[in-house]
Structure 1
Amino acid sequence: MKRTIVLILEIAVLVVVLRSSFVQFWLADIQDNLSDWMTELATMAEREALSDLQKRIRPFIANLSDYQREYIMDITSSRSKLEHFQRYYCIEKDKNPYVYGATLIYLCSEIRKVQFD
């Protein structure tokens, strides 16, 4: 009988403590940190692939104008931008005001080499 009462009291204290604002704030902070860490882990391979692509194309685009280099570095900064560029300008052959000719052909060939794991 004493064990049951002690167990019920322990559960009640645990519920009261876990419902306190401090513990809720602390648990939310832990959840945010873990979520950020998991997001970083999930996107690590993507960031490495994009960084590798930028390193490969940097010497080739060095002789382009500033706005062209900025544009190319911007499209190679995220997977979604890169996929959008590839779909419209490499696959569908839409006209791009910043990248064209041999630069576009080279960029499309380098984009095809990118492997997102």
Structure 2
Amino acid sequence: MWKSFVILVEILIFVWLIRSPFVQYLFGDIHDSVSNWMIEVSEIGEKKMLSSLEGAIYVGLPNLKGYQKRYFSEVLSSTESVNKFYKHYCIGGDINPNIQGAELRYVCTQMSQSDVLAVN
């Protein structure tokens, strides 16, 4: 009987401790850290593909102006923005104010040959 009472008291203290604000804050902080780490790990492959595409574009177009480089760093920031660019300017034929002609065709060719479009 005494052992059962002691075990019950220990369980109640443990539950009370777990529900305390400090422990909740600590668990929340640990959760945020782990989830941020897991997001970073999941994005490694995407960042690698985007970096490889960026390198291919900059190697083939070494004479890009500053505003064009800033534009492409924004376009190459995520697979969604690359897909949007490809859909509008490569497939749709919309006029791009930042890049045109042979340079645009080169960028479209590099994008179509990369694995970035296959992600979505």
How does the TM-score come out when normalised to structure 2? 0.89
Structure 1 residue runs without a partner (length 5+): none
C-alpha distance in 2, partners of 1:77/1:44? Answer: 13
Structure 2 residue runs without a partner (length 5+): none
Question: Pairwise mapping of residues 1-117 of structure 1 onto structure 2 (< 5 A)?
Answer: 1-116=1-116
Q: How many residues align?
A: 117
State the one-letter code of the partner of 1:93: G
Contact 1:90–1:108, Cα closer than 8 Å, also in 2: yes
State the one-letter code of the partner of 2:18: L
Residue 90 of structure 1 deviates from its aligned partner by: 0.9
C-alpha distance in 2, partners of 1:54/1:64? Answer: 13
RMSD value, Cα: 1.4
The share of aligned pairs that are identical, in percent, is: 35
